[in-house]
Amino acid sequence: MELSHKVVGRYVARGAVPLREKEDVENTILEKFLSKQDKIDKSFKSKSKKTTYYIAILNRMCAEVIRKEQKNWYSINSLNNGELKQESSTSFETEKQTLIKEEIKRFNACLQIFNQEKSKLILFLKYYFNIPLNKYDINNYAGKNSNEVQFALKGNNSLAKAEKNERLANVVLIVEQKNISGDAVRMWINKQIDILLNKLNFKQSRFHNRESLAVLLEINDSIEKNKYEL
């Protein structure tokens, strides 16, 4: 309970979770954690303190709740005194969809600066943010090594960040024949995220953080998935 309180408190301080939702989010991630604790404990490799490992798991669970509930929180926060006429509701929904489309367009434009590393970045970010991978994510980066990479990245849900980084380091070895450490992967991902956020927040016209970046990535993934299905 203390760890979930601490984790959610950080997201509240950064504006990712509304203060009014704090207790509900704490209870949600605590319930999720307790329901999976046996599996979580079995996956603990003693590479870090157990509290550090638990915080990593709770952070990921909190990020999942944020991605799932953020649109609903935004809608509720935009209501005036809890009531909107039908016309206002329609107008708000239209404005919201327009804003989302604009941000997705900006997001994709920002991704272009990564050139040949774009497919690698998308794959690594989705794995980092615990967003399900599809065969296109893997094929675009791994090519002929796709099956081996898919096998290497299986079973992502209960991993701590350090373990994810080790797996991604193995993927780099498979695809690029470069033998690097998990820590090198961590630094590379953090650097790319910083570059992407700086580009998205150019001249402070927007305020994106890691949580909203994950939301953009997930929405964009849904749009791309629909394209492939068509």
Per-residue pLDDT tens listing for the chain (230 residues): 888 888 888 878 777 787 788 888 888 988 888 888 888 888 887 767 888 888 888 888 888 888 878 767 655 454 444 444 444 445 545 655 676 778 888 888 999 999 989 999 999 999 988 888 888 899 999 999 999 999 999 876 677 888 899 999 999 999 999 999 999 999 999 999 999 988 888 765 567 788 788 888 888 877 766 554 43
- Range of the structural domain that residue 193 is part of: 107-229
Asked if 164 and 55 sit in the same domain, the reply is no
Q: How far is CA 196 from CA 48, 49, 95, 122, 190, in A?
A: 29, 31, 25, 12, 10
DSSP secondary structure letter of residue 79: -
Report the domain count for the chain: 2
Asked if 224 and 113 sit in the same domain, the reply is yes
In whole angstroms, give the CA distance from residue 170 to residue 125. Answer: 16
* Among 77, 95, 123, residue at a domain's last position: 77
Outline where the chain has alpha helix (H). 2-13, 22-35, 37-42, 50-77, 86-111, 118-128, 135-142, 146-152, 161-176, 182-200, 210-229
* Among 61, 77, 93, residue at a domain's last position: 77
